[in-house]
Amino acid sequence: MKSRNLGTVAALAIALISAPAFASYTITQQNGMAPTYSTTLNFDEVGGPTGVVATNVFSGIGLDVFESGAGDQAIGDNSVFEPWLPSDNTAFMNFGMFLTFGSDLTEMSFQGWDPGGTPSPFGGGAAVSIWDDGVEVASSFITPAWGGFGDSWFDITTSGGMVFDEVKFLGFGFDSRTHVDNLSWNAVPEPTSLALLTMTGVGLLVRRRRTA
């Protein structure tokens, strides 16, 4: 009995040492380019849609809902109207960007611009918020980039097994001309996909042992 208890204590100690100290969500606004994750969407893909698009237009890559606050999300070269924007396709998200993913995410990055200005007690500014199963889990209130000034890159990361499935970028100024570009994210594999990967790995190990 004594040796079993010692073994349990040792196992718990190892688990505590190897586990992250804290589970958290981090939202970073930065001037330099954010990391690019495994699934990318820059609106310049060959054959990609332009003009006003349906909210489910990118469901094939795991982005189930791609929607502006006004429901009139459009893709095109918006530098025609805002010369300081990238001279390629960006998404115009009138009254903010609202994204819902088909799988849980662990990381995401994007570029965002909004004329919300500096936050004040009377309004203004913008917010990036992330949600999981309909519950807001983290948010960051910021001064958004606009007019060629400010930090336009955002990087969202998690630790300790935390995940999210919605991202919102919303300005609180009187002008609603939100633009976004260069989205990328890492999704958690679905249980069936994870099981297939595990079975494939076991199969490779068995084959290696047989041939050794």
Q: Each residue of 87-102: pLDDT tens digit?
A: 999 999 999 999 999 9
Q: How many CB atoms lie within 10 A of CB 46?
A: 4
Between 5 and 125, whose confidence is greater?
125
β-partners of residue 93 are: 178
Domains of the chain: 23-190 (2.60.120)
Interatomic CA distance for residues 68 and 66, integer angstroms: 7
Vertex 175: Cα angle to 125 and 36 (nearest 5): 60
184: Cα separation from own chain's centroid: 7
| pLDDT for res 122 | 85
- Per residue in 159-193, pLDDT (tens digit) is 999 999 999 999 999 898 999 999 999 999 876 44
- Per residue in 40-50, pLDDT (tens digit) is 999 999 999 99
List, in sequence order, every beta strand (DSSP E) within the chain: 24-30, 39-41, 51-52, 63-68, 74-76, 90-94, 97-113, 126-132, 135-142, 153-159, 164-171, 177-187
β-partners of residue 145 are: 113
- Per residue in 62-82, pLDDT (tens digit) is 999 999 999 999 999 999 999
pLDDT band at 18 (very low <50, low <70, confident <90, very high): very low
Tokens at 124, concatenated:
């203004």
Instruction: Give the global pTM.
Output: 0.81
Interatomic CA distance for residues 86 and 47, integer angstroms: 19
